[in-house]
Amino acid sequence: MRLTCPLCGERDRREFYYGGDAMALERPAPDAGDVAWNDYVHLRDNPAGATRDLWYHDGGCGTWLVVERDTLTHAIAKVTPASEVAR
């Protein structure tokens, strides 16, 4: 697998560290309640198809990325800096 970092260009998978589901960027409000927080902390989908994950370019420029990818075809649809998503 190769990811195209917006700063570095196309790079080998070994340069990246997996950071889990990109829903981590959608932090609930402190008073959102137990259900929302339980969902945020513990519950993850396991889709056969489109996923949205965080990857860290640690063997490169140090940018956190949101990678949209398909778990069935391994096709990568989009790579966006997490700083642009989580503003």
Partner 1 sequence: MANLIATPPFGDTLPVTVGATTITERPIERAASVAPFAGRAKAVSAALKQAIGLGLTGPGEWAAKGEASVIWFGRDTWLVIGAEVPESLQADAAVTDQSDAWACLRIDGPQAEAALARLVPLDLRAAAFGTGRTARSLIGHMSASITRAGGQGYDLMVMRSMARTLAHEVAEALQSVAARGA
Binding site for partner 1 (CB under 8 A): 7-9, 11-12, 14-15, 57-63
* Residue closer to partner 1, measured from CB, 22 or 65: 65
- The span from the CA of 77 to the CA of 7, in Å, is 17
* Residue closer to partner 1, measured from CB, 8 or 85: 8
Q: In this structure, what DSSP letter does residue 70 have?
A: E
Q: Are 82 and 25 in contact (CB under 8 A)?
A: yes
Shortest Cβ distance from residue 59 to Zn ion (Å)? 9
- For residue 51, the partner it binds in partner 1, Zn ion, none, with Cβ less than 5 to 8 A by kind, is none
Q: Is 50 in the site for Zn ion (CB under 5 A)?
A: no
* Residue closer to partner 1, measured from CB, 13 or 27: 13
Order of strands, edge to edge, in the sheet holding 50-56?
17-21, 50-56, 64-70, 76-81
- The span from the CA of 80 to the CA of 63, in Å, is 10
Q: Is 5 in the site for Zn ion (CB under 5 A)?
A: yes
